[in-house]
Each structure stands twice: as structure tokens, then as C-alpha cells.
Amino acid sequence: MKKKILELNISTFSFVDIVNRIIELAVSNSSSYVCVANVHMTIEAHNDRGYAEIVNKADLATPDGMPLVLAHRALYGIKQERVAGMDLLPCLLHKAETLGLGVYFYGGTQETQKRTVTFVEVNYPKIENKHFESPPFRDLTEREEMECINRINQSRSNLVFVALGCPKQEKWMANMKGKINACMVGIGGALPVLVGIQKRAPVWMQRCSLEWLFRLAQEPRRLFKRYLYTNSLFVALFLKQIVVKKLFRSTEYR
């Protein structure tokens, strides 16, 4: 089940239900993909209908950011649970270790992948089928793309964690659906946090929807303009959606 937040249809399942659904797709080697949606992704979808369609065609689109969680309550009266990539990734790795599933990490810098190799070996030593790839920071040629597809399929991985950043990773997963025999999960910025390259905000900041502020303090030059634009536009568009919804309801009962 999904509910519309601006242009995106966001899954309304609990954290546990979403994890179970992803594992079902992974075990069956279903060619599928999962988007982990936040404010940045929502604004990208608002500005690009093609991108919105890609996210809306995903098998699951989880509410990563607290603003999307609060939007479910304000618009639909749903006490939606947050399903953040930073929580989802370690949970799926634990499941993969328990169930003997193969995992494939695709994306990120070579340094990030090196840290990921060490992290997985230390924290999830029972995952035997594990693979790591840092692709070039450019579009792949047709030949390179086919080689990539073959590598992933031949690895017999069940879960492919895609860390290419928004919106590139969602477009990549949509393009690979029907080609890669695994469940692809767009983990974005969760990987650097998981392996210790970046720190995560304290719990109280997460609960108060201030995780973005913590990230901004860590990378002000890279994130200032983006957050100023996306956060402001999200608030304006969200308030507009609430007003439109209330007006529609009032005309319904006349």
C-alpha cells in the first residue's frame, strides 16, 4: 500500500514488513528495486516527471526522512514508521548473514568500498557470498553495462546495495530491472555512515527531524545550497498539498 506525498507514492508498511518484503524478493531472486525516499528525492521527483515515474514504479519506496513520516500523519492520519536507509542496511545485512544470502555492493569511491569490505568482514563474517564494485564516475558504455550485468548475475547475489547517489542510483536500478536477477536497494548516503566515514546524528536530532542539520554541519560547502533549496521548496509544496486536500474535503461535503 502506498500514499502520495507530493509526486511520490510512498509505501506505508512498518519497518519489519518492509524488511520482510525485501527479503522475500531477495530469496526469490526477483528482479526488483527499492527506493529509500527523503526530501531531496521528493523534490527531484517534483522537478522531473520521468524521475517521479521511476520511483513510483519501484517495488517499494520507503519513507526515509522524518518529514515524509510527519507528512503521512498530517495528510492521511497514518502513524507511519520511519524506514531509513541507515537502519535498513544493517538490518538487511544481518538477515543476509542469517539466511545465507549473497550481497553485492555497487557504487561509492574505491576508498568507501575498501572500508565496506573491512566492515562487512568484521561485523558480518558469516556472509560468504559478498562482492564489492566501485564503478567509474561516468556513464557506462553498452559493453561495460553488459559486463556489469553479467558480473552481478554470475555472483548469484540476492541483494544489490546501490550507492550511486540520488537521482543516479534510482535511474540505474530502474534500467537494470529485468536484467539483474536480484533485489536492488538504493542506499545512497547510508553506506559512508555505516562504515564509519561519516557520523550519524544523535537520536534526539533524528526524532526532531534535524538529521539534515547534523549532515549540513559535516559538509556545509556541499550541502548548504541543496538543503536551502530542497527543504524550503518541500515545505512550500507540502503546505500547498494540505490546503488543496482540505479544500477538496470541504467541497465534498457541500
pLDDT per residue of the chain (254 residues) written in tens, 0 to 9: 888 989 999 999 999 999 999 999 999 999 999 999 988 899 999 999 999 999 999 999 999 888 888 888 888 888 888 898 889 999 999 999 999 999 999 998 888 899 999 999 999 999 999 999 999 888 889 999 999 999 999 999 999 999 998 899 999 999 999 999 999 999 988 888 888 777 766 776 766 666 766 666 767 777 667 767 787 888 888 788 888 776 655 454 44
Return the closest-CA partner of residue 120 out of 101, 139, 147, 144.
101
Q: What confidence score (pLDDT) does residue 232 get? A: 83
In degrees rounded to 5, what are phi and psi of residue 93? -65, -40
pLDDT at position 208, please?
A: 62
Per DSSP, the three-state class of 204 is helix
pTM of the model: 0.87
Rounded Cα distance between 177 and 158, Å, is 14
Q: So what's the pLDDT on residue 252?
A: 47
Alpha-helical (H) ranges within 134-219 are 142-154, 168-176, 190-194, 203-207, 211-218
b/e per residue 56-70 (b: at least 16 CB within 10 A): bebbbbbbbbbbbbe
Which cell numbers hold the place of 23?
527479503
Closest to 86 in 3D by CA, of 193, 174, 244, 246 = 193
Q: How far apart (Å, rounded) are the C-alpha atoms in residues 89 and 34?
A: 12
Angle at 45 between CA 57 and CA 23, to 5 degrees: 40
